[in-house]
Amino acid sequence: MASARGDIFVQNDSAFEGKNNKDKMWTACFAAFSAALATVNFGYALGFTAEAELSEQFNSNNSAIDLSMLNGNSSKGFSMCDPDFDIFASVVALGALVGGLLAGILIDKIGRKTTIISTTIFYFLGWVLIANSYCYYGKHGGIGDPEFCRKHSKQWYYSMLYCGRVITGIGVGMSSLVVPVYIAEIASARMRGALGNINQLSINFGFVVAYMTGYKQNLPTTAYVPIGISILNLILMVFFLPETPRYLLANNRRHDAILALYWLRGPDYPVEEECFEIEGHVNFGTQDQWQWKDLKSSTFYWPLFIALSLMFFQEFSGINCILFYCSSIFLASGIGARVKPEDLVNSKKILEALKNDSKLYALFVCSTLFIFTGISCFLVDRYGRRKLLLSGSVGMFISLIPVSVYVYHYQFNMKQIIDFLSKQENTTYAILALVCILSFIAMFSIGWGPLPWLLMSELFPIKTRGIATAIVTFSNWLFVFTTTSSFCKVIYGIHIYGTLWTFAIIVVMGFFFTLFFVPETQGRPLEEVAELFIRRNLLQVSIPWTRHDAL
């Protein structure tokens, strides 16, 4: 459609294309990375989950596998899960549900910057409780002296651990909402894709840091690392970073918005023109708070449908199940197994080799997650959102099929494992299955990892952005809780290979949803993205939206 506001975009886009009008990159990058320290903590909380799976506190899952294998009584419905670890893994999502709703309210009431600052409070309190919860391990220690530790039962410390996870989860939920919005609103249109992916890159970096610090260190020590990250995040946000210009203009603080734009873009950039462009839409849509009638608008319910669906396909692709339980999956299914021929006569040496390999390969998974998310930062503004989502879906599906076939043929008692691994071709298949798992992680990191969060921050008009992103974030963490809490039950019912087939089917559904419903937002100002949905009905497909000039 053509409109007066659309004409503003055309005029300003051409004005911004001047050779000397490029925005200063380093300040926007500094602001994005500084704000993303909150999502480093987010990733650390998730990585801490996978790290805890290998600890003393949650080791009965591996013990169950060991016992069943050694006794030769295991079947394709073996137990690989510990009830306490299931709670530990999923309870953070309950806190994130609350945090997402809370942040949806706060970003409009106190601003994006102050909301990020408030996440540090929850992170600090939560991690202190988690560090203290390991007090009953005499050789590991904790906060307080040994005499204090002996005054309380193990169950008391478990309660402290779960409370810490819930409080940390509130910070995680708040970060998952506010950081993408903050980065999207400070970035220029030409940099928004790359800077938006910093959010997911930081999550994955936190995951890698958590796993690598916990690989050799004990859990209480690693619980103090995110406290330091929170303090650094607090200092940078309070003393160095501005509020977003769009929030400032929406709250009639034009002078502060101009100063923020000068800080972000530099003195040679046409700040007044960008401010005028934003003002035209902010004044048009955000003089008042959102009202219930705004939720009936196509600029709200259509982007909400897209964003919710993207989050569904992201989480039900099985990514968190694979990340949280990757060591147990590798151990139990023999993926990547490398056993020396002379060790095949010794059951304990086989188990030891499988355990060591599973820990090492979990590090490979973390590193792949981080590296390919970084690559995605360079691809998203070159190839667009849709192409990366579609190609990611294809790559994930192709990667899952060989893994599920391999796991189907793998045996689960020691005698059969010895026979299986004694054949050289089966060892080769185990390595190929590992490569396919890493390929799945890589393709997820390029597309379905960062882009649903990026699109969430782009699709909604500023007037309803707070309530909309709160709903989407709440739903995302509901999906996380559902998948992680039910993963073991699903494995008991349809085994690992059946679960992987289910993930593959959902990935295919995500491909067709992206093909027919997800618009391309590459290079568009945020205000123009909202206009894509004006007068669009629910059954219209997104193929015409791939053209940059289609409105």
Answer whether residue 68 is part of any domain: no
What single letter denotes the amino acid at residue 213?
T
**Residues 231 and 318 occupy one common structural domain:** yes
**Residues 116 and 253 occupy one common structural domain:** no
Structural domain count of the chain: 2
CATH number at residue 359: 1.20.1250.20
Answer whether residue 551 is part of any domain: no
**Residues 442 and 294 occupy one common structural domain:** yes
Per the CB < 8 A criterion, the answer to whether 512 and 345 are in contact is no
Answer whether residue 78 is part of any domain: no
pLDDT for 323 equals 80
**Residues 331 and 278 occupy one common structural domain:** no
Domain that includes residue 171, residue range = 24-54+83-241+288-539
Cα–Cα distance measured from residue 170 to residue 467, given in angstroms and rounded to the nearest whole number: 17
Going from the first residue of the chain to its last (551 residues), give the mean pLDDT of each consecutive group of 10, the final group possibly shorter. Answer: 33 42 76 92 84 54 42 41 70 89 89 94 91 56 50 71 90 92 85 80 87 66 86 92 90 89 84 80 53 67 90 91 74 59 57 66 83 86 88 94 80 56 62 86 91 85 79 89 82 82 94 90 75 58 44 36
Listed residues 229, 260, 287: the one ending a domain: 287
**Residues 161 and 300 occupy one common structural domain:** yes
Cα–Cα distance measured from residue 8 to residue 231, given in angstroms and rounded to the nearest whole number: 42
pLDDT for 484 equals 81
**Residues 210 and 338 occupy one common structural domain:** yes
What 3 state SS string does 193-228 have? HHHHHHHHHHHHHHHHHHHHHHHHCCHHHHCCHHHH
pLDDT for 21 equals 53
pLDDT for 535 equals 54
In terms of Cα–Cα distance, which of 185, 20, 163 is closest to 92? Answer: 163
Per the CB < 8 A criterion, the answer to whether 516 and 543 are in contact is yes
**Residues 429 and 534 occupy one common structural domain:** yes
**Residues 191 and 272 occupy one common structural domain:** no
pLDDT for 331 equals 66
**Residues 170 and 128 occupy one common structural domain:** yes
In terms of Cα–Cα distance, which of 179, 189, 207 is closest to 373? Answer: 207
Q: Which residues in 231-294 belong to E strands, given as ranges?
A: none
